[in-house]
Amino acid sequence: MGSCTLFRPRDKAPVVETVRTVDSPTPPTAARDLADVIAADLQLTTEQTGQVRSILNGTVQQANAAKAKYPAKSPQLMAELKRINVDSQKELKVLLGPVKFKQLQTDQRKIAAEMQQKQK
């Protein structure tokens, strides 16, 4: 019985989990992953996908800079993040055109769910 692996003591390595909060910087891979999900959903060309990725990379960089500059949940941070998001949406609308942009807006929940699955 002593050689059975079920009864042998196991080494217990500490489990470290990273928990992102709203105040945490957004990882750079988030823009790439979101662009890939959007591209698949909207059936974008390789060129369009690259342009979406570029817009989203800029959005992530600006948002992280704002999070570093302003206190968490402050009115200044919320206003800056809203401005950044509005600018990003305008750029995406110009790039995608009205039909695909409308589809993007319609599919936002589906895209968000796919992003949550990617982050697990």
Does 113 map to a domain? Answer: yes
Does 21 map to a domain? Answer: no
Question: Which residues touch 84 (CB under 8 Å, ≥6 apart)?
Answer: 59, 62, 63, 66
Q: How do residues 52-106 score in pLDDT, each as one tens digit?
A: 999 999 999 999 999 999 999 999 999 999 999 999 999 999 999 999 999 999 9
SS3 state of residue 116 = helix
Q: How confident is the model at residue 27 (pLDDT cuts 50, 70, 90)?
A: confident
Residue 31: alpha-carbon gap to chain centroid? 6
Does 1 map to a domain? Answer: no
- Give the range of the structural domain holding residue 104, as residue numbers without chain letter: 29-118
Does 78 map to a domain? Answer: yes
Domain count, the chain: 1
Does 97 map to a domain? Answer: yes
